[in-house]
Structure 1
Amino acid sequence: MTRTSTVRAASTALAAALLLTFGLTACTGQDTGTKPTATRSATPSAEAYEAPSAAQVALLPQAQYNAVIGGLLPYYESTIPKTADESYTISADAPLYGDDRTKPVARLAEKDFLGDPTVVVPVQFSGDWAMVMTPARQALPSATNGAAAAQSAAWIRRDLLTKKTSLEDHVVIAVGAQTVSIVGADGKTVKEFPAGVGAGGTPTPTGVIGYIQARYLDPAQDQTVHEINLTTLHSAAADEPYGGEDGGLIGVHYESTARGAVSHGCVRLDGDAVDAINKLPLGTIVQITA
């Protein structure tokens, strides 16, 4: 990551403090129970759109990694939409909406928890609106009989999005095969690596897509050489499987033991593999299959 020394120091300190408390490798998840069918409105309310003021937006709950916001949309899609081929940023905190697109339910911050520009990835466009994946939860597993969505989504105004970069490749995590692949836009596998996935009691979620939202080092967990890739995906089975406050996040990171069903739900890779993933741009789609 590139930033001035002052911002880098502040961001690194913030990340270390957050992760020392929360513990990224504690993330876990699975898909259990019957998933409801997500319905999406083809058009919003006929009422004219009236943008909330900055002060009104500031009062909304922030859709961040450890938030649970019921007004968000559970996102159960397992295939990658064509619209997820570009990443975006926002120039100010932006309101997020549910399917009616009339009353904002949350806000997406201009900067993420590291102080870097928040990366936004649309999965659907509808007129002046874009549906984007968010880094927050829509519901806790404990409130849904262990069947919470691993990924959430919301509607945002398209004119608030600024294109960042094209997303040519995506990552496929095959839990059963215990592999991680980099797949090109043509569907051909560019590279494939063996991986460590969630253990029996703390499985990795399957049948879902998310994206790489942040990347950083974490000295508190001896991650000082290979940056951690933090996805927007969460545990679908446990609120805080490791007892922290990280929201059961799913990360892709280095571990010396990177084979078999060995993790708390995160995906473990050796040094060469995680370095290859680290070369992909933020916003890269992560697809997890059974």
Structure 2
Amino acid sequence: MAARGRSSRRALAFAAGIVALVAAIAAIAIVVGLGREDATVAEETPSPTVSATPTRAPTPEPTPTPTGFPENTASYDPASLQVVEVFEVNGALPVDDDPYGETAGVSAQPIEAGAPVFADPEGEPVAYLPRAQHFEGTIVPVVEQQEHWVRVLLVGRQSVPSAGDSGQVTGWLRTSDVELTENPYRVEVSLSERTIDVATDEGTERVAEDFAFGAAATPTPLGRSFIMMTRTASLAYTRGHPLVYLSVQSPTLDGFDGQSVAVTAFHYHDVRSGAISNGCIRLDEAAISRLAELPAGTPVYIRD
């Protein structure tokens, strides 16, 4: 009996050991399995990757294309060029091709002794505009403005009427040769309405509501011109009032009163109504006094 009891206890102990061993193996398997599952989840959910934002290359901006005619820095001998002056006839100067076009509200005057004048900015100069001269006409209105050039109205003629077109002439000046000054004024003349206004961007001022102008054979020139100069001359009919001379001359007269010019002007006259003059515009005292206050270079538009 004692031997059988000892055998039973050994069998129970062995069985208990087997159970303990199996339990330990199972526990290890569970731990390892959880570890693998966690590892699998970690592998399937990748960590967020921080990537650098690519730096954009700057967009190249095109170099602005210069507008207008190219710059001209050449030097010219004034002595070789014909002077721009009221008595001069220069066939190389173009006649204004836009007689009612806008002006730029700017006047130009040569900076030093004078400036070369070009009919074509890409060609050679055809004349010379002094900074100052006896009959003035050196402060001129700009009708087109570019970076290197300005197109202006000028005094003088391309031709006398009997030989060609005596209309208002123009030319090009280099901006490096001139000083530019704002001029807000312009004069508007209507022959049919017989009105004269001094106009600015702010409004108009009526100067005259009747005046005399050119007869049929000696008409007042139409289109745009400018105030060449203002002077008081010893003429009986002006009675001591100033004359406001314009840049444009008669379309029918080669000369007038023994002179080789036929300049148009605003001036005082006792007889001052209707188409009766040789081309000048005759005004009363108040009107001529007001126009005489305007600066040289002021544009003047004369319309039918």
TM-score by length of 2: 0.71
The 8 Å contact of residues 234 and 248 in structure 1, kept in 2 or not, is answered as yes
1:124 maps to 2:144? yes
Name the CA distance, whole Å, in 2 between partners of 1:49 and 1:247: 34
Give unpaired runs (5+ residues) of structure 2.
Answer: 1-66
Give unpaired runs (5+ residues) of structure 1.
Answer: 1-41
The 8 Å contact of residues 62 and 109 in structure 1, kept in 2 or not, is answered as yes
Q: Which amino acid aligns with 1:169?
A: Y
Name the CA distance, whole Å, in 2 between partners of 1:185 and 1:289: 19
Q: How far 1:174 moved relative to its partner? A: 1.2
The residue aligned with 1:265 is 279
The 8 Å contact of residues 117 and 125 in structure 2, kept in 1 or not, is answered as yes
The residue aligned with 1:185 is 201
SS of the equivalent of 1:288 reads strand
CA deviation profile, 1:234-265 (whole Å, cap 9, x unmatched): 1223322x353352211111111111112100
Q: How far 1:276 moved relative to its partner? A: 1.0
Name the CA distance, whole Å, in 1 between partners of 2:119 and 2:137: 23
Q: How far 1:192 moved relative to its partner? A: 3.5
CA deviation profile, 1:144-196 (whole Å, cap 9, x unmatched): 2xxx25200001101111134x322211121222332222224x431141111
The 8 Å contact of residues 121 and 132 in structure 1, kept in 2 or not, is answered as yes
SS of the equivalent of 1:218 reads coil
CA deviation profile, 1:172-225 (whole Å, cap 9, x unmatched): 121222332222224x4311411110012111012x101101011111455463
The residue aligned with 2:221 is 205
1:71 maps to 2:92? yes
Name the CA distance, whole Å, in 1 between partners of 2:247 and 2:226: 6
1:97 maps to 2:118? yes
SS of the equivalent of 1:225 reads coil
Q: How far 1:81 moved relative to its partner? A: 2.0
The 8 Å contact of residues 61 and 107 in structure 1, kept in 2 or not, is answered as yes
Name the CA distance, whole Å, in 1 between partners of 2:92 and 2:137: 24
Name the CA distance, whole Å, in 2 between partners of 1:117 and 1:192: 24
SS of the equivalent of 1:139 reads coil
The 8 Å contact of residues 103 and 141 in structure 2, kept in 1 or not, is answered as no
The 1:226/1:234 distance shift into structure 2, 3 A limit, reads same
Name the CA distance, whole Å, in 2 between partners of 1:269 and 1:232: 18
Report percent identity of matched pairs.
Answer: 25
Name the CA distance, whole Å, in 2 between partners of 1:183 and 1:149: 27
The residue aligned with 2:129 is 108
The 8 Å contact of residues 234 and 240 in structure 2, kept in 1 or not, is answered as no
The residue aligned with 1:136 is 156
Name the CA distance, whole Å, in 2 between partners of 1:185 and 1:80: 16
Question: Superposition RMSD on alpha carbons, in Å?
Answer: 2.2
SS of the equivalent of 1:275 reads helix
Q: How far 1:134 moved relative to its partner? A: 0.6
TM-score by length of 1: 0.74
What does residue range 1-290 of structure 1 map to in structure 2 within 5 Å?
Answer: 43-44=68-69, 49-53=72-76, 56-83=77-104, 85-90=105-110, 91-114=112-135, 118-144=138-164, 148-164=165-181, 166-186=182-202, 188-193=203-208, 194-206=210-222, 208-221=223-236, 223=238, 225-240=240-255, 242-290=256-304
The 1:123/1:117 distance shift into structure 2, 3 A limit, reads closer
The 8 Å contact of residues 221 and 251 in structure 2, kept in 1 or not, is answered as yes
SS of the equivalent of 1:274 reads helix
Q: Which has the higher helix share?
A: 2
Aligned length: 236
Q: Which amino acid aligns with 2:108?
A: Y
Q: Give 1 or 2 for the bigger CA radius of gyration.
A: 2
